[in-house]
Amino acid sequence: MNSSLVQLVDVSKTYAGAAAVHNLNLEIAHGEFVAIMGPSGCGKTTALRMLAGLETPTSGTIRIDGVDVSGRASWQRNTPMVWQSLALFPFLSVAGNVEFGLRMRGVPKAQRQRRVRDWLSRLGLDGFADRSVEELSGGQRQRVALARSLVTEPPVLLLDEPLSALDHHLSLKMQGELNRLQRELGIAFVYVTHSHSEAFAMADRVVIMAKGSVEQCGAPMDVFNRPDSRFVAEFLGNNNIFRANVVAADEVKVQLHTENGEFTSAPLISGPPKVGSSLDLVVRADRISLTTKAGWATNEVACTLVSEEFIGSTINGHLEMAGGKHIVVQLNARDLEEIDLQVGRQFYASWHPEDCHLVASR
């Protein structure tokens, strides 16, 4: 028996001939924090809404706890969602909002009140029960929305970019609290976001979607270290991508020809690629070192500093290679002690074969 809580099997959703979601396959385990990311229009929100029962899949199956819920309306599942706009009912008090789900399910009043009090207390909203929703601050309203969704103790909580409208400071605080809450409760969270940092900070597993299907999924560290397609590499940012042709390949290393030089890379996970095939070589910006003298590492390119971006503890340097292509190198404060970054200066950008990898050209 499969231990996963939620299964989307070949789920598709088309609107007037255009597919918002196409053959989506995704499994979510009990207690797992899954973040779904992707550019706008990739289908992540549609997928979430199908889980919630607010959209019906055109084809495919959705199972929760083994039960096929694809045809069920939203009110017949227990998949509450935390909305981007929070969607709190303005004509109900805080308690009225939080108890709503229980009330709809016919839970008797005394029990409802007890549960509401418990949850308000757990989320730090003691004594707020009779307050009007309009009086609350943004952070407090977030918690009411959370309490409202959690009071029915769902097996999985859906969140639709809940922090996207908050300012940076508040967002960071709420991220920590959401994380803690999820660990305490041990229920699955499905969290849709367009922010890399949110996803990587909180999730056990990250799912990157594009054009209605999954591009890549895995633990944040794995995805970050090894994007397995050009799209994901570009989406995550801070990656340099070279078009390469395979010159020679064996179990240990691959020799590549690019228009910026001959490079060596670690082999593909699936084994040595065919000689002559076209692949993309991905090098992360923080894996590249800048030196004034050549010969520091196997892969090396001569370039000129064009501009730099100061991002706090790191600096992004943009350098131009022969032929006009740009490369991004991320340096930290310590590196800068040994290097003097001046626009127009010549450097050698270099990296070891194990610090880059190949992905299939798509």
Partner 1 sequence: MHHLSSAAPTPLTEVSTSFELKAIAPQSSGRAGFALTHALPPLAWQLAFFVGPLLFLLVLTFWSVHNFRLEPAFEMGNWKRMLTQQHVWDTYLRTVMGAAVSTVLATVLAFPAAFAIAFRLSENARRACLFLLVVPFFTSYLVRVYSWQVFLSDEGLINSLLTMTGFETRRLLNTDLATQIGYLTLSLPLVVLIQAMSLLLIDSKLIEAARNLGCGPMRVVFAVIVPAARVGITVAALFCFIFSFGDFVSPLYLGGGSSPTLSILIVDTTKAGQQWPRAAVLALLMISTLMAVAWVMTAFAYRKKT
Partner 2 sequence: MTRKISGVILHAYLALVLLFLFAPIGASLVFSFNSDRFPTLPLGSFTLDWYAAVFSDERVLEALVNTLIVSTASATLATALGFGAAYTDYRYQFSGKRLYLALGLLPPTVPAIILGLAMLAYLSRLGLSGSRLSIVIAHTVICTPFAMALVRLRLSQIDASLEQAAWNLGASQWAALRYVILPFTASTLCGAWLLTMAVSFDEFAIAWFVGGLSETLPVRVLGFLQGQVSPRINAIGTLVFGVTTALVVVAQLILTRRLSLRRAEERSTNLNTPFSS
Point out which residues bind partner 2 (CB under 8 A). 52-54, 73-75, 78-81, 83-91, 100-101, 104-105, 133-142, 148-149, 152, 165-167, 170
Taking the least distance from each CB to partner 2, the nearer of 118 and 135 is 135
Instruction: Please report how close the Cβ of residue 219 comes to partner 2 at its closest, in angstroms.
Output: 29
| Chain residues 329-358 in contact with partner 1, contact rule CB under 8 A | none
We find the least distance from the C-beta atom of residue 122 to partner 2, in angstroms, to be: 18
- 259, two tokens: 């228009």
Choose between 112 and 284: whose C-beta lies nearer to partner 1.
Answer: 112
Which lies closer to partner 1 via its Cβ, residue 107 or residue 339? 107
77 lies in the binding site for partner 1 (CB under 8 A) = yes
- Residue 155 binding target from partner 2, partner 1, none, CB below 5 to 8 Å by type: partner 1
Please check whether residue 202 is in contact with residue 35, taking contact to mean a CB–CB distance below 8 angstroms: yes
Question: Which CB, 180 or 326, lies closer to partner 1?
Answer: 180
Q: Residues 15, 59, 66, 73: which binds partner 1 (CB under 8 A)?
A: 73
End-to-end CA distance of the chain: 36
Q: What residue 90 binds from partner 2, partner 1, none (CB within 5 to 8 A, per partner kind)?
A: partner 2
149 binds, among partner 2, partner 1, none (CB under 5 to 8 A by kind): partner 2
Q: Which does 346 bind (CB under 5 to 8 A by kind): partner 2, partner 1, none?
A: none
What is the CA angle 286-33-76, rounded to 5? 145
Contact of residue 144 among partner 1, partner 2, none (CB under 5-8 Å per partner type): none
Closest approach of Cβ 177 to partner 1, in Å?
6
Of the candidates 260, 311, 303, 310, the residue with the CA atom closest to the CA atom of residue 281: 260
Place of tokens 């082999």: 267
Residue among 157 and 281 whose Cβ is closer to partner 2: 157
How many residues contact partner 1, by CB under 8 A? Answer: 29
- What residues from 104 to 163 belong to the interface with partner 1 (CB under 8 A)? 105, 107, 118, 121-125, 139, 143, 152-153, 155
Q: How far is the CB of 143 from partner 2 (least distance, A)?
A: 11
180 contact, one of partner 2, partner 1, none, CB 5-8 Å limit per kind = partner 1
**Shorter beta-carbon distance to partner 2: residue 74 or 245:** 74
Interactions with partner 1, residue window 166-195 (CB under 8 A): 173, 177, 180-181, 184-187
SS3 letters for the chain?
CCCEEEEEEEEEEEECCEEEEEEEEEEEECCCEEEEECCCCCCHHHHHHHHHCCCCCCEEEEEECCEECCCCCHHHCCCCEECCCCCCCCCCEHHHHHCHHHHHCCCCHHHHHHHHHHHHHHCCCCCCCCCEHHHCCHHHHHHHHHHHHHCCCCCEEEEECCCCCCCHHHHHHHHHHHHHHHHHHCCEEEEEECCHHHHHHHCCEEEEEECCEEEEEECHHHHHHCCCCHHHHHHHCCEEEEEEEEEEECCCCEEEEECCEEEEECCECCECCCCCCEEEEEEEHHHCEEECCCCCCCEEEEEEEEEEEECCCEEEEEEEECCCCEEEEEEEHHHHHHCCCCCCCEEEEEECHHHEEEEECC
Q: Which stretch binds partner 1 (CB under 8 A): 44-52, 68-76, 217-225, 353-361?
A: 68-76
How far apart CA 325 and CA 301 sit, in angstroms, is: 11
Please, are residues 285 and 330 in contact by the beta-carbon 8 Å criterion?
yes
173 vs 326, which CB is nearer to partner 1?
173
- Residue 46, CA atoms < 13 Å, CB-side half-sphere: 26
Q: Which is nearer to partner 1, 155 or 261 (CB)?
A: 155
**Is residue 41 a contact point for partner 1 (CB under 8 A)?**
no
> Which residues make up the interface to partner 1 (CB under 8 A)?
67, 69, 71-73, 76-78, 105, 107, 118, 121-125, 139, 143, 152-153, 155, 173, 177, 180-181, 184-187
